[in-house]
Every structure is written in structure tokens, then in C-alpha cells.
């Protein structure tokens, strides 16, 4: 099955990994910024972070994709491929969960450490990047990895918006009469690939936990 359609499988796997990797990078960077805003001493920053998290997190991912794929072109902005729009959608959506997990980790850091850093003259940005965030990340490895596992699974939503990723393989092969393959067999192989990717992420989680446990 896979060896009979290697071109389709390689394209689908590549797009899935792009959605996961670049979308995950956007989610991580934006999530750190929003998480810091959520605990910021500046009321406006806290308000913007709260509104962003509550608005986007409570919107179904399908609607977020719908806005990017069908709404974005109506704004008169430069044309982007459905894959790029899907990456933006899943990254911006997942950033809300990253922010909340990170905020929970920040709350585990003793307040005295942040106060001591401010007492020696460090501004808020340096307090966060040098003192608080390194400890917060160590404490939230399991829930953060759960967020990224969920992100990996959510890449399947892109199949409904014209992105040729793994979840679209069944319909792609089914609609091509010259392509060999049974739809159920395709779905089983897709499931196997996702299980393998999730197991890889789980291994990474254990590795980081062990490494940072020793560092403590």
C-alpha cells in the first residue's frame, strides 16, 4: 500500500510534519509571549492576554481554520497557500493552550525568587527570561507535551480545507482510480503513522523529564 503510492504518502507525511513543526514553533513563541502577558504587572497586557486566550481557546479549531482559509483571502492581503494558512491557524490556536500551561508553571515558581530578581534591578523581561521561565518550563514538561501531542492530532483538521496531509490520504487514493489501495487499509496505515509519531513525542517527554530532573 505505502510502497505503491510513495509519492502521495511522502507529500502527506511532509505536510503533516510541516503543520506540526512550524505550527508548534508559532504556538511556542506566541504562547510564551501571551503567558508572560497573563502574569504581567501591566493591566493592559494582562487584559489583552486574557481576551486572546478566552476568545481563541473557546472557538472550535474548525472555525479558526475556516476563517484563515476562507476569510483571509477576502482581506485583500497577499495570497498564501492553504498549507501556510493552516499552519497559521493551528499555531495561533494552540498558542492559547501553551500560554495557559506555561502560566500554571510560572505560578509554581516561588514568588520570592522574582522579588529578589527585581530587588537587584532586573526589569520584568529579564526576570521572566532569566529566572522564572527556565524553572516554569521544567515543571510543565508533561502537560506541555500533551499540548503538542494534541497539536499533532489536530493537523488532521487541515484535510477538510484542501491540505494534502495524512488524514486526506483515504479520499486522495479513493478518488484516483489508477491508484491501488483500499480505503480501510489506508486509514489503518495513517493510524500507525500517528501512533509512531506520538510514541516519539512521548519518548522526548521522558528524555526531557530525566534531563531536567538531574539538572535540579
Predicted confidence (pLDDT) per residue in 134-170, tens digit: 888 888 888 999 999 999 999 989 888 878 788 777 7
List CB contacts of 173: < 8 A, sequence separation 6 or more: 5, 8, 179, 181, 183, 186
3-state secondary structure of 196: helix
Angle, helices 82-106/6-38, rounded to nearest 10 degrees: 40
Give the position of cell 472557538.
59
3-state secondary structure of 158: helix
> Mean pLDDT in the chain?
84
Q: How many domains does the chain have?
A: 1
Q: Is the pLDDT of residue 2 over 60?
A: no
Q: Are 5 and 181 in contact (CB under 8 A)?
A: yes
The pLDDT confidence band at residue 180, using thresholds 50, 70 and 90, is low
Q: Which domain holds residue 131?
A: 3-215
Q: What is the pTM of this model?
A: 0.86
Higher pLDDT, 136 or 62: 62
Domain with residue 138: its CATH number is 1.10.3720.10
List CB contacts of 48: < 8 A, sequence separation 6 or more: 37
Amino acid at each position: 500500500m505505502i510502497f505503491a503510492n510513495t509519492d502521495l504518502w511522502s507529500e502527506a507525511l511532509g505536510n503533516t510534519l510541516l503543520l506540526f513543526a512550524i505550527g508548534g514553533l508559532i504556538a511556542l513563541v506566541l504562547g510564551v509571549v501571551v503567558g508572560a502577558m497573563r502574569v504581567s504587572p501591566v493591566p493592559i497586557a494582562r487584559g489583552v492576554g486574557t481576551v486572546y486566550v478566552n476568545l481563541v481557546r473557546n472557538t472550535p479549531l474548525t472555525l479558526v481554520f475556516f476563517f484563515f482559509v476562507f476569510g483571509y483571502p477576502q482581506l485583500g492581503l497577499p495570497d498564501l497557500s492553504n498549507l501556510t494558512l493552516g499552519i497559521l491557524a493551528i499555531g495561533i490556536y494552540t498558542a492559547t493552550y501553551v500560554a495557559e500551561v506555561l502560566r500554571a508553571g510560572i505560578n509554581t515558581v516561588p514568588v520570592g525568587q522574582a522579588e529578589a530578581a527585581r530587588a537587584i534591578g532586573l526589569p520584568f523581561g529579564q526576570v521572566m527570561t532569566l529566572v522564572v521561565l527556565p524553572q516554569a518550563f521544567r515543571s510543565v514538561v508533561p502537560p506541555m507535551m500533551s499540548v503538542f501531542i494534541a497539536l499533532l492530532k489536530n493537523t488532521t483538521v487541515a484535510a477538510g480545507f484542501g491540505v494534502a496531509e495524512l488524514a486526506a490520504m483515504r479520499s486522495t487514493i479513493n478518488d484516483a482510480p489508477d491508484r491501488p489501495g483500499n480505503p480501510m487499509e489506508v486509514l489503518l496505515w495513517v493510524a500507525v503513522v500517528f501512533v509512531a509519531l506520538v510514541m516519539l513525542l512521548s519518548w522526548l517527554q521522558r528524555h526531557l523529564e530525566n534531563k531536567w530532573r538531574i539538572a535540579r
